[in-house]
Amino acid sequence: MSLLEAATRVRENAYAPYSRFKVGAALRSTAGNLHVGCNVENVAYPEGTCAEAGAIAAMIAAGDQRIAEILVIADSPSPVPPCGGCRQKIAEFAAQDVVVTLCTTDGLSRQMTVADLLPGVFTLEHMDRA
């Protein structure tokens, strides 16, 4: 199954009663496994958790630790980039040259690398003196 098909399917499972803005994400690990996630809102935190974070959590829960590629889809006029927190999470588990594909339900897409998505990423090397 393609990342686009998987993200499109899981997007329908999003729990978004407050924003009504459903987002799906799918990633392939470096081991070749497919992992998906969707956004989940709640009354105390109406912005909810992000689809990308859900896919990464599913990857970790399944025993994989590295992202080979990731795709995000939403019903938006233009491709929606991940929030800042998800950008950092993606950068934690993906090399800087990994491709991130952002899609709309209308068929628009934009590709970039993790380095393009989060320039100046905070890494473990920043804590070398700790």
d(C-alpha 62, C-alpha 56), whole Å = 10
pLDDT at res. 129: 82
* Residue 25, φ and ψ in degrees, nearest 5: -140, 145
Task: Tell me, yes or no, if 52 is annotated catalytic.
Answer: yes
Over the stretch 36-53, which tens digit does the pLDDT of each residue have? 999 999 877 777 789 999
Over the stretch 10-32, which tens digit does the pLDDT of each residue have? 999 999 999 999 999 999 999 99
Instruction: Tell me if 100 is assigned to a ligand binding site.
Output: no
Which domains are present in the chain?
3-127 (3.40.140.10)
d(C-alpha 71, C-alpha 28), whole Å = 9
Angle at 91 between CA 77 and CA 51, to 5 degrees: 45
Instruction: At 53, list the tokens.
Output: 């974070």
Instruction: Tell me if 39 is assigned to a ligand binding site.
Output: yes
Instruction: Tell me if 125 is assigned to a ligand binding site.
Output: no
Entry pTM:
0.92
| Packing angle of the helix pair 51-61, 84-93 (nearest 10 deg) | 30
Q: Exactly one of 5, 12, 47, 52 is catalytic; name it.
A: 52
Instruction: At 121, list the tokens.
Output: 């990423």
Over the stretch 88-113, which tens digit does the pLDDT of each residue have? 999 999 999 999 999 999 999 999 99
